[in-house]
């Protein structure tokens, strides 16, 4: 593989179904690669300390915080961001449920909430309220008090 240490590296990732190849400095965080290099600004930087979860994306199908990964660590990975959810312009059931249940106010945490909840629903299509609260523990919302977010995810699982 790439066994010689280097400050810059060309990485290849699949992002929302598209292949991208780009040279990045090893110190660049994955969230900055996504936002600044690729212009996908749906992924937010909230705290930049790994606490808030606004930067949550999927790497090889798993929810991760993109501010706690270097872009070079994602070399070879398949990435999905919030832009990849409604790729054809039609909201997913979860996104529609967020709208129906008024699960956002300022919206800053919403991309991360959607990515964490999408990962949950893929593993557990009919989560209980307790499952949802456990799965969203890494995502902070300072507006809603979480009640409507949890309702929206549970309802999306029930197909409501």
Residue numbers at the binding site for another protein (CB under 8 A): 1-7, 9, 25-27, 29, 48-50, 53, 56, 62-65, 67-70, 72-73, 75, 116, 119-120, 134-135, 137-139
User: Is the Cβ of residue 62 or residue 129 nearer to another protein in the bound state?
Assistant: 62
Query: Beta 78-80 vs 56-59: how paired, if at all?
Result: antiparallel
Give the Cα separation of 125 and 29 in Å (integer): 31
User: Is the Cβ of residue 133 or residue 143 nearer to another protein in the bound state?
Assistant: 133
Q: What does the DSSP assignment read for 52-72?
A: S-TTEEEETTEEEEGGGSBGG
Give the Cα separation of 131 and 81 in Å (integer): 22
Which residues have a Cβ under 8 Å from the Cβ of 19 and sit 6 or more positions away? 12, 13
Torsion angle, alpha carbons of 71, 3, 12, 61, to 10: -70
Give the Cα separation of 153 and 47 in Å (integer): 24
User: Is the Cβ of residue 18 or residue 36 nearer to another protein in the bound state?
Assistant: 36
Nearest distance in Å: CB 88, another protein:
27
User: Is the Cβ of residue 21 or residue 88 nearer to another protein in the bound state?
Assistant: 21
User: Is the Cβ of residue 70 or residue 79 nearer to another protein in the bound state?
Assistant: 70
């Amino acid at each position: 593989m790439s066994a010689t240490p280097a400050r810059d590296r060309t990485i290849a990732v699949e992002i929302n179904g598209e292949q991208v190849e780009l040279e990045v400095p090893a110190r660049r965080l994955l969230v900055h690669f996504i936002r600044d290099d690729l212009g996908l600004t749906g992924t937010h930087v909230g705290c930049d300390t790994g606490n808030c979860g606004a930067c949550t994306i999927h790497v090889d199908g798993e929810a991760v915080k993109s501010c706690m990964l270097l872009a070079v660590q994602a070399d070879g990975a398949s990435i999905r961001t919030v832009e990849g959810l409604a790729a054809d312009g039609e909201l997913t059931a979860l996104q529609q449920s967020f709208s129906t249940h008024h699960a956002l106010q300022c919206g800053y945490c919403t991309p991360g909430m959607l990515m964490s909840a999408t990962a949950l629903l893929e593993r557990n299509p009919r989560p209980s309220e307790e499952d949802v609260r456990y799965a969203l523990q890494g995502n902070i919302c300072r507006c809603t008090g979480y009640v409507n977010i949890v309702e929206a995810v549970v309802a999306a699982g029930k197909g409501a």
